[in-house]
Amino acid sequence: MKLAARDEERILVIRRAQAIRDVASLRYPVPFLDQPAYAQAAYETIVEPAHHRELRDANKAEFETALNAVIRISEDPVVVERAHRYKKGQTRVRPKAAQ
């Protein structure tokens, strides 16, 4: 993040954390939740690792806190819906593609 010179680069760094299947990928975006330029990327990055039940269950308290923050702050209905489902221990049901 120190090398990122522009907001677009910082957003990319936050979003790439989604690919890491470790509790660190949950912790990393939390400080960005209250920064409007990075908040949407942070919400998405928090919700993505929550999809993985083993990771979520092993770090239940941290996920609960972070998902509650996403639900409280995010205005993206898809992200909020995912956060609610993961808090209930459910996985996301993707909408069917239009045919």
Residue 16 sits at the vertex; the CA angle it makes with 18 and 52, to the nearest 5 degrees, is 10
pTM (predicted TM-score): 0.82
Query: Looking at the domain assignment, is residue 10 inside a domain?
Result: no
Tally of structural domains, the chain? 1
Give the pLDDT score at 65: 96
Give the pLDDT score at 90: 84
Query: Looking at the domain assignment, is residue 13 inside a domain?
Result: no
Give the pLDDT score at 36: 93
Give the pLDDT score at 8: 84
CB 71: neighbour CB atoms within 10 A?
A: 17
Q: pLDDT tens-digit profile of 37-89?
A: 999 999 999 999 998 889 999 999 999 999 999 999 999 999 999 999 999 98
Q: Which domain holds residue 35?
A: 22-87
Contact 64, 57 (CB under 8 A): no
Query: Looking at the domain assignment, is residue 42 inside a domain?
Result: yes
93: left (phi over 0), alpha (psi -120 to 50) or beta: beta
